[in-house]
């Protein structure tokens, strides 16, 4: 299974999963149809599945057009999003499995950004190799999604599930927000040398118009403040040792940044 990153809208990413041997593909959160169709044509592949993480328009905007062009495809999304995902046929719960290209993804229910958000995790084929996490707007490189429908407690629980995955998991998040996220992170974790180093690297990458996605979970654990609610430096900022209250304070500060 090859993952192909496609740019869409102003800062969205769409992820095309390609099975070149069988000339089929699946797509995660198609915001627009044009880049997906163009890539499918280049690959000479048939689209067989849409994997949606949540109902926001910049993640489902191309569902209907793609379903019209590829009527045999199946649309997967969370059961809690029933009625909010165009063309949804498969209603997923936490612990369910989906298959593509002889790979099996585990479904995580990760409410917080929305009440029905899910993520798809493809474990490595061989233990110790890279796994693939498609997490929508739950984790960003250096950040996390704004809480539109969920609570801080839900988001901490959701992020805890994803934080428990192996460090060598690639984070395929849906937006190029990394530079701004790291600018904020330095305001609450300024002595973090790993974060300082990452910020310098990301500045150079963006100056060269390079994408910062995917990230690695191990790097996020060291530099992403929204996965570090148990770190004394952030607890001091939040003036509490409570994980949820620490996260909520940092998230509130980011909302105003």
C-alpha of 26 from chain center = 16
- Residue 117 annotated as part of some ligand binding site: no
Confidence of residue 246 (pLDDT cuts 50, 70, 90): very high
Residue 221's pLDDT is what?
A: 98
Counting residues of the chain whose pLDDT is more than 70, the rounded percentage is 100
Q: pLDDT band at residue 65, thresholds of 50, 70 and 90?
A: very high
Q: Any binding-site annotation on 94?
A: no
What element of type H or E holds 204? helix 193-207
H-helix or E-strand containing 39? helix 34-43
Listed in order, strand segments (DSSP E) in the chain are: 2-8, 12-19, 24-28, 46-51, 74-78, 90-92, 97-100, 103-109, 118-122, 131-136, 139-140, 143-144, 169-173, 215-216
Q: Which of 54, 55, 81, 96 is catalytic?
A: 54
Average pLDDT, the chain: 97
Q: What are phi and psi of 99, to 5 degrees?
A: -120, 140
Contact 244, 153 (CB under 8 A): yes
How, if at all, do strands 169-173 and 131-136 pair? parallel
236: pLDDT strictly greater than 90: yes
Is residue 58 part of an annotated ligand binding site? yes
Domains and CATH numbers, the chain: 2-255 (3.60.15.10)
Q: Is 55 annotated as a binding residue?
A: no
Contact indicator for 251, 229 with CB cutoff of 8 Å: no
CA-based end-to-end distance of the chain: 38
Query: How far is Cα 116 from Cα 59, in angstroms, rounded to an integer?
Result: 13
Q: Are 60 and 78 in contact (CB under 8 A)?
A: no
Q: Is 168 annotated in the active site? A: no
**Which of 19, 29, 55, 56 is an active site residue?**
56
Sign of the dihedral through C-alpha 130, 131, 134, 140: negative
Q: What are the pLDDT digits (tens) for 137-192?
A: 999 999 999 999 999 999 999 999 999 999 999 999 999 999 999 999 999 999 99
29 is known to lie in a ligand binding site: no
56 is annotated as an active-site residue = yes
Tell me whether strands 46-51 and 74-78 are parallel, antiparallel or unpaired: parallel
Instruction: Report the pLDDT value the prediction gives residue 127, as an integer from 0 to 100.
Output: 84
Distances (CA, A) of 71 to 36, 46, 181: 15, 11, 39
Give 27: exposed, middle or buried? Use CB within 10 Å, 0-12, 13-18, 19+: buried
Q: In what order do the strands lie in the sheet with 169-173?
A: 97-100, 103-109, 118-122, 131-136, 169-173, 215-216
Residue 19 annotated as catalytic: no
pTM (whole model) above 0.75: yes
Q: Is 44 a catalytic residue?
A: no
Q: Would you say 57 is a known binding-site residue? A: no
pLDDT at 128: 85
pLDDT band with cut points at 50, 70 and 90 for residue 57: very high
Residue among 19, 29, 55, 58 flagged as catalytic: 58
Indicate left, alpha or beta for 10 from its phi (over 0: left) and psi (-120 to 50: alpha).
alpha
Is 117 noted as a catalytic residue in this protein? no
pLDDT digits (tens, 9 = 90+) for 102-142: 999 999 999 999 999 999 999 999 988 999 999 999 999 99
């Amino acid at each position: 299974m090859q993952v192909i990153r496609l740019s869409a809208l102003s800062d969205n990413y769409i992820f095309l999963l390609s099975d070149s041997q069988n000339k089929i593909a699946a797509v995660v959160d198609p915001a627009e149809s044009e880049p997906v169709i163009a890539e499918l044509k280049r690959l000479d592949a048939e689209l067989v599945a849409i994997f949606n993480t949540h109902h926001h328009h910049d993640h489902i905007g191309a569902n209907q057009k793609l379903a019209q062009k590829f009527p045999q495809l199946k649309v997967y999304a969370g059961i809690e999003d029933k009625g909010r995902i165009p063309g949804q046929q498969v209603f997923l719960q936490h612990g369910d499995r989906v298959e593509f290209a002889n790979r099996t993804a585990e479904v995580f229910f990760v409410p917080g950004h929305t009440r029905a958000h899910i993520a798809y995790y493809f474990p490595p084929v061989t233990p110790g190799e890279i796994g693939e996490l498609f997490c929508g707007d739950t984790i960003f490189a250096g950040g996390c999604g704004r809480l539109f429908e969920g609570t801080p407690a839900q988001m901490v629980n959701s992020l805890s599930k994803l934080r428990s995955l192996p460090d060598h998991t690639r984070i395929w998040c849906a937006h190029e927000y990394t530079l701004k996220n790291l600018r904020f992170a330095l305001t609450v974790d300024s002595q973090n040398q790993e974060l300082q180093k990452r910020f310098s690297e990301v500045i150079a990458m963006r100056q060269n118009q390079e994408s910062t996605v995917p990230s690695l979970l191990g790097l996020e654990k060291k530099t992403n403040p929204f996965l570090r609610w148990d770190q004394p430096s952030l607890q001091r900022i939040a003036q509490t040792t409570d994980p949820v209250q620490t996260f909520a304070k940092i998230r509130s500060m980011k909302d105003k940044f």
